[in-house]
Chains A and B, each alone.
Chain A
Amino acid sequence: MELNNALGMPILTISIFLPTLGAIAIWLLARNDQQVRWGALAVSVATFVVTLPLLFSFDTTTAHMQFEELHPWIRSFHVNYHLGVDGISMPFILLTSMLTVICIVSAWECITTRVREYMIAFLVLETTLIGVFAALDAVLFYFFWEAMLIPMYLIIGIWGGKNRVYATIKFFLYTFAGSVLMLLALLAMYFKAGHTFSILDLMAYPFDFTWQFWIWIGFFVAFAVKVPMWPVHTWLPDAHTEAPTAGSVILAGILLKMGAYGFLRFSLPICPDASQYFVPMMVGLSLIAVIYISLVAMMQKDMKRLIAYSSIAHMGFVTLGTFMFTQQAMEGAVVNMISHGFVAAALFLCVGVMYDRLHTREIAAYGGVVNVMPKFALVMMIFAMANVALPGTSSFIGEIMVLLGTFNADPAGLATSAKWVAIAAASSVILSACYMLWMYKRVIFGDIVHDSVKSMPDISCRELGFFLPLIALVIWMGLYPTPVLDLMHATVAHLVDQVSTSKLPAAELLSAGGSAIMPGGHHPAGM
């Protein structure tokens, strides 16, 4: 097999294992907490620098995997150590390496117990996260996917809030139950497709409809928990609320993206017909996420819980865009994922900044924060506006593209036209403003009513330091998304093509509910 690796060096392997090597070094060498902090920062920055060539040497003209590496791993089961990225996975590796730096900086002062273990957990987590996005072998993917649970479990369980044990167990059970079904799906595919775990081979293998159906279900459970989609979303508000700030940042910024990434990497190309078949269900669940969850978010009394629910609502846009199978909607979904990585991360950091000062997340305990923290109020205003998808911010690009792609889509099997779906999803324009700005009003605006608020100092340089890059990215992607979109054009076009090409023989195609599939294009013919 011809490997496509323009750099000629194992850059993905280095990106994956550098954090873990660094963690080991910190474990062995660092003498005190301060050394641990600086060491972790150095390792995370180094990893970020190492991932940069992925962006700069990326060939945007091809949908092929790039920076590939392939080594046999477990020969008897045909498991390979196969890495590679395309235009969808590569941005997430950079997002991961960037957010990890921010997480480590954000934990600088607020984590004071077991600093060494905390930093090691974060670096190991980074390894597993990059591994998930780089893996092209299903077993390798599964390995990283499951391995990620352990550091995350520890981060919430050890450095979390009062109710952390409950949240941890809930988080673990939900995700673990989901992944068991994914494992079954992987094994089923392995035996059916002639003993291969190669994701690229599985994409090419013509599974018949029944196989696709069950494999799809297996993946769906695993990914739906991770996204999370209604009704398996209730672990997320608990996990977010109890997690330390940096845990929430990485949870919202990266972990949630893995579910949607799974749909794009596995469900769509491997089971195109089943994906088409399940469009109505996915649309329904996505709309529930956008509307139902937004209403729930509005009534939250805890800021972190509110942002957690808002994350679920935004992920509704991602799943909607993913399952519309048009270029715009799918690119919009990926942009939304990246953008949400910045915005939700920043909002959790905002709450963290306030929590560090007052040690409460209750909305009612604040009010009038702008009087004592004007700089912070401005920073949070920017991200609140990004969260309501104001034009000029990255979320607007993502959401409008999903909506345009949805309005223009022509999915089979939907009781009504996709146009009404787009219109229903567009209600997020109103709902997101309701929950976000109402919260902002109660927390930031007004006169000071609680004396405790009076003593809150404005944000420090360190805090400003991790907000500024996020502000720059949100606005840059809002005004000039072209570089990001260019990365994914070829890959998304290829994926749209994959999911629109049935794997079934013609006769079976008809019996599977006539899911004759057309990619979206301009063919308005009424609804």
Chain B
Amino acid sequence: MTLSSTELLTIPLLPLLASIVVGLFGKRLQNSLSHWICCSGVVVSALLSVHVFLQVADGASFYGNFWTWIVSGDLVVPIGMMIDQLTAVMMITVTIVAACVHVYTIGYMHGDPGYTRFFSYISGFTFSMLVLVMGNSFFTLFFGWEAVGLVSYLLIGFWFKRESATFAALKAFIVNRVGDFGFAIGILAVWYYFGTVEYHEVFAQMPAFLARHYSLGFMDWHVSAITFICLALFVGAMGKSAQVPLHVWLPDSMEGPTPISALIHAATMVTAGIFMVARLSPMFEYSETALAVVTVVGALTAFICATIGLVQNDIKRVIAYSTCSQLGYMFVACGVSAYGVGIFHLMTHAWFKGLLFLAAGSVIHAVMADQDIRRMGQLRSYMPITYITMLVGALALSGVPPFAGFWSKDLIIEAASVRHMGWVSEFAYWALLFGVIFTAFYTFRMFFLTFHNSDRVPAKTKPHLHESPKVITVPLVILAVGAALTGWWGADILNLPGEGGEGFFGHSIFVLQAHNPMLTLEEIELNHSGGIWLEMGALIMAAIGIGLAWLMYYKPSDLPAKVAESFPGMHRFLLDKWRFDELYWRIFVLPARAIGSFLWQKADLAFIDRGIIHGGVIDTIATAAGRLRQMQSGFVYHYAYAMVLGLFGLVTWLMVGN
């Protein structure tokens, strides 16, 4: 069964149209008409996505090209769509979260001078993200990839008067470009080796390609072509999905308005890297090295960012570090070949992380744009809906059943424990397990400090405390329901551990039989041979984390200060975010500036201009001309003398010559 191409085209084009109309005529349309145009565009495309999802669940799919972008010699770059189970899951996730965020924005951005501009951006973002997930080639993926990067840049710097915001935007763009550099190289290599950039043609050629054992070398160093391609593409994924060492832009991106943090920097854009790896599973599966790198990077990020999250005091930064960390979990899932589980976590994460951000936004709205949790506390009595919904989000993030995060995170950890990749999977397993404690701890530290503990709200903010309006609370409730239910619903619908089959994702995700941790898990399930630790390990860790947070932060106590004092070095190190920013400043930014200045001042100006051109060429000509000029002295006897000498020479030459 084939899907209707009109319907499929409508899904991304509606938000695009809304974005263009509001972007160009926003001022004339007024605020209310602008948000109606954008919201309705995105809501309709969300409904259509659900429709498409239901059809795909029944076995429908789509593959087709609509447009030829570039043709040159044997290079053909079409623009088309590939809709299968993986795409469908991404489409509903993106459009539903986007729809919630659009509605929420009506309340959150109320009264902002950039109101219509903001709507234009987020609708444009929805379009770009849909291109990214629905496309059928590396080029459409890259197009969407760069387009969401552009919108992200514009939105981080949305409040352009703030120096910190524009700096964060610049940083985000450049760090992402480092990733894109890798992505672009991956595309070059894909076209070189496969002669096409369309997914299904590349995937179809994989067996023939592998049989030829291509390798690339530089000097004496060689790497197999498939590993080279996968790693280059993965660098792109690391940039967009904020993985160590390219994670530094994501926490700073919190300078953007909160709806953006929810939509772009938590639920959708940053998950593009996970989507990419899952989409390209037919390639990654054939490179053990690439899979190992994905796993290690994911595990490192999950661990490092979770530790940084422990000490942050900015409510949004806590959640931002948690996002990096959770993205690490998803990458580990992909690395251990449990792509479906990774996408499942992506989906549940979109719900609960979107929820956490929007709830945080609701809090920030109430306390007059203050984001420091040290100046909050006891807010639950003022804003009960936000309190309850945030609790749901926090429980889901910590992995407490039956909330969404439990199902997906638990599966990731189980998959990592049963997949045998030597030290790689061993390391990933323990990093994730400890990550769970930290996650639960920082989540509830933030939660308790905000809603419980002592009331530390400054007196001048006090009168302003109130529950947010309906346009804010309704999306919160919708997302909370999602965060509560998508776990078991998804586990059921997506049928992940696969009852004897491929599960929901079918052929949209490719896993080698020998790699598949899901098969092992299923066997364990059937034999009940997993033991209590495999089943309950993550849950126990989460309980420890929440328990510790409860001890230290539920009631005011001096315990946190004491702990910090006992490990001053460690505390400082975490507060400094493992000193990545400082390191990059020293090894990239300052040297690049110094080299740039050197090349300009010394090489261009001093050496080429003053040295060679002035010193060499012009001075030589000037000196020679000066000498020649002296010959025209204007004295007749000089000329006469020269004439006589000349005559003498000529006569001599004639005599000797003959």
Query: Chain A: which residue is nearest B595 at the CB level?
Result: A295
Q: Is A437 a contact partner of B173 (Cβ separation < 8 A)?
A: yes
Which segment of B139-147, B287-295, B541-549 sits at the interface? B139-147
The verdict on A429 contacting B181 (CB below 8 Å), with A328-B75, A404-B188, A482-B68 known, is yes
CB–CB B181/A493 < 8 A: no
Is A397's CB under 8 angstroms from B70's CB? Answer: yes
Binds B, one of A93-101, A342-350, A358-366, A418-426: A418-426
B143, B181, B605: the one contacting A391 at CB < 8 Å is B143
B613 within 8 Å of A by Cβ?
Answer: yes
Q: Which of B418-466 contact A (CB under 8 A)?
A: none
Question: Assuming the A-B contacts A434-B592, A446-B163, A526-B215, are A408 and B191 also in contact, with contact meaning beta carbons closer than 8 angstroms in the complex?
Answer: yes
Tell whether B489 is near chain A: CB-to-CB under 8 Å: no
- A429:B600 contact, CB within 8 angstroms: no
Q: Are B160 and A446 in contact (CB under 8 A)?
A: yes
A234 contacts which chain B residues (CB < 8 A)?
Answer: 604-605, 608-609, 613
CA distance A170 to B160 in the complex (A): 41
Are B160 and A401 interface neighbours, CB within 8 A? no
A401 to chain B, nearest CB (A): 6
Q: How does the 8 Å CB contact mask read for A322-336 relative to B, with 1 for contact and 0 for none? A: 000011100110000
CB nearest to A488 among chain B residues? B72
- B 144-165 to A, binary, CB cutoff 8 A, 1 in contact else 0: 0011001001000100110100
A322 to chain B, nearest CB (A): 15
Complex alpha-carbon distance, A438 and B592, angstroms: 13
What A residues does B225 contact at CB under 8 A?
524
A295 to B599, CA, bound (A): 8
- Contact yes or no, A485 B72, CB < 8 A: yes
Interface residues of A in 454-486 (CB under 8 A from B): 479-482, 485
B614 to chain A, nearest CB (A): 10
Chain A CB within 10 Å, residue with most, of B73, B181, B193: B73
- A446 contact from B147, B166, B178, Cβ within 8 A: B166
Given A331-B72, A441-B170, A446-B163: A298 in contact with B217 (beta carbons within 8 A): no
B146 and A390: CB pair below 8 A? yes
Chain A nearest CB, measured from B248 CB (Å): 15
Tell whether A338 is near chain B: CB-to-CB under 8 Å: no
Q: Scan A375-408; emit 1 where CB is below 8 A from any B CB, else 0.
A: 0000000000100101110000100110110011
The CA of A493 and the CA of B177, in the complex, are separated in Å by 33
Question: Is B567's beta carbon under 8 Å from chain A?
Answer: no
Which residues of chain A are within 8 angstroms of B216 by Cβ–Cβ distance? 417, 419, 526-527
Q: Determine whether the beta carbon of A426 is less than 8 Å from that of B188.
A: yes
- Of the four ranges (under 10, 10 to 19, 20 to 34, 35 or more), the interface on chain B belongs to 35 or more
Which residues from chain A contact B558 at a C-beta distance below 8 Å? none
Q: How far is the CB of B268 from chain A (nearest CB, A)?
A: 19
Question: How far apart are the CA atoms of A231 and B195 in the complex, in Å?
Answer: 37
Report Cα–Cα, A423/B229, bound state, in Å: 13
Question: Within A252-301, which residues are at the interface with B (CB < 8 Å)?
Answer: 292, 295-300
**Which residue of chain B lies nearest to A426 when distances are taken between CB atoms in the complex?**
B184
Q: B73 to A429, Cβ gap below 8 A?
A: no
Interface residue total, chain A, C-beta cutoff 8 A: 62
The answer to the question of A31 belonging to the interface, with a C-beta cut-off of 8 Å to chain B, is no
Using Cβ atoms and an 8 Å threshold, which residues of chain A touch B605? 234
Known: A433-B173, A446-B163, A481-B70. A299 touches B75 (CB 8 A): no
Query: Known contacts A296-B596, A385-B150, A437-B170; is A404 also within 8 Å of B604 by CB?
Result: no
Among residues 602 to 628 in chain B, which have CB atoms less than 8 Å away from a CB atom of chain A?
A: 603-605, 608-609, 612-613
Q: Interface 1/0s, chain A 432-450, versus B by CB < 8 A?
A: 0110011001001111000
In the complex the two chains form, is B70's CB within 8 Å of A445's CB? no
Q: Are A423 and B185 in contact (CB under 8 A)?
A: yes
Asked if A116 is at the interface of the complex by the 8 Å CB criterion, the answer is: no
B278 CB, min distance to chain A CBs, angstroms: 22
Check B192–A433 contact: CB distance below 8 A.
Answer: no
Decide yes or no whether A521 CB sits under 8 A from chain B.
yes
Determine if A416 and B595 form an interchain contact, defined as CB atoms under 8 angstroms apart.
Answer: no
Contacts of A441 in B (CB 8 A): 157, 166-167, 169-170
Q: For chain A residues 487-517, which have a beta carbon within 8 Å of chain B?
A: 489, 493
B73 contacts which of A297, A326, A447 (Cβ < 8 Å)? Answer: A326
Q: Tell me, in angstroms, the Cα distance from A327 to B191 when the chains sit together.
A: 14
B71 contacts the other chain (CB 8 A):
yes
Residues of A within 8 A of B181 (CB): 426-427, 429-430
Residues in A whose Cβ lies below 8 Å from that of B161: 368, 371, 446-447
Distance, CA A475 to CA B258, complexed state (A):
31
In the bound complex, do residue B70 and residue A401 qualify as a contact, i.e. CB atoms below 8 Å apart? yes
Most central of B68, B595, B600, B603 by chain A CB within 10 Å: B600
| B610 closest partner in A (C-beta) | A234
Contact across chains for A485 and B157 when beta carbons are under 8 A apart: no
A441-B170, A445-B166, A526-B217 known; A407 vs B596 contact (CB < 8 Å): no
Within 8 Å of chain B (Cβ to Cβ): is A370?
yes
Contact in complex: B72, A328 (CB < 8 Å): yes
- Minimum Cβ distance to chain B for residue A68 (Å): 27
Contact A524 B70 (CB under 8 A): no
- A524, B178: Cβ atoms closer than 8 Å: no
CB nearest neighbor in B for A489: B72
A522 within 8 A of B: yes
Chain B minimum-CB-distance residue to A368: B161
Interchain nearest-CB distance for B9 vs A (Å): 15
Interface flags, B185-200, vs A, CB<8A=1, else 0: 1011101110100000
Complex Cα distance, B609 from A527, in Å, reads 39
Give the residues from 354 to 370 in chain B that come closer than 8 angstroms, CB to CB, to chain A.
none
In whole Å, how far is A300's beta carbon from the nearest beta carbon of chain B? 7
What is the minimal beta-carbon distance from A472 to any residue of chain B, in angstroms? 14
In the bound complex, residues from chain B placing their C-beta under 8 Å from that of A430 are 174, 177-178, 181
B189 with A407: CB separation less than 8 A: yes
Residues of chain B lying within 8 A (CB to CB) of residue A390: 146-147, 150
B573 at the interface (CB under 8 A from A): no
Given contacts A437-B174, A524-B192, contact A391 B70 (CB under 8 A): no
Q: Which residue of A lies closest to B145 (CB)?
A: A391
Residues on A with C-beta less than 8 A from B217 are: 526-527
Chain A residues in 8 Å Cβ range of B629: none
- In the assembled complex, the CB of A454 is this many whole angstroms from the nearest CB of chain B, namely 14
Residues of B near A404 (CB, < 8 A) are 75, 187-188, 191-192
Are A292 and B599 in touch, CB under 8 angstroms?
Answer: yes
Q: Are A391 and B146 in contact (CB under 8 A)?
A: yes
Would you give the shortest CB distance from A33 to chain B, in whole angstroms? 36
Give the Cβ gap from B596 to chain A, nearest Cβ, in Å: 4
Shortest CB-to-CB span from A402 to chain B, Å, is 11
B25 at the interface (CB under 8 A from A): no
Q: How far is the CA of A297 from the CA of B597 in the complex (A)?
A: 9
User: Does chain A have a CB within 8 A of B218?
Assistant: yes
Q: How far is the CA of A404 from the CA of B188 in the complex (A)?
A: 5
CA distance A371 to B157 in the complex (A): 13
Q: Is B74 an interface residue (CB 8 A)?
A: yes
By beta carbon, the residue of chain B nearest A526 is: B215
Within the complex, which residue of A429, A437, A489 is in contact with B180, where a contact is CB–CB below 8 Å?
A429
Cα distance A101–B657 in the bound complex, in angstroms? 66
**Does B593 count as interface, using CB distance less than 8 angstroms?**
yes
With both chains docked as a complex, state the minimum distance between the C-beta of A230 and any C-beta of chain B, in angstroms: 9
Chain A residues in 8 Å Cβ range of B174:
430, 433-434, 437
- How many angstroms from the CA of A419 to the CA of B218 in the assembled complex? 10
B214 within 8 A of A: yes
A416 CA to B216 CA, complexed, in Å: 11
Find out whether the CB atom of B195 lies under 8 angstroms from the CB atom of A522.
yes
Q: Are B596 and A299 in contact (CB under 8 A)?
A: yes
Question: Which of chain B's residues have a CB closer than 8 A to the CB of A403?
Answer: 184, 188
Given contacts A327-B74, A427-B181, 19 further A-B contacts (CB under 8 A): A234-B608, A295-B595, A295-B596, A298-B596, A299-B593, A327-B75, A392-B146, A403-B188, A408-B191, A429-B181, A437-B170, A437-B174, A441-B167, A446-B160, A481-B69, A485-B70, A522-B74, A522-B192, A524-B192
Closest 5 CB pairs of A and B: A327-B73, A299-B596, A295-B596, A445-B166, A407-B188
Could you pull out 7 A-B pairs where Cβ atoms are within 8 angstroms? A231-B608, A298-B596, A390-B150, A401-B72, A441-B166, A485-B71, A522-B195
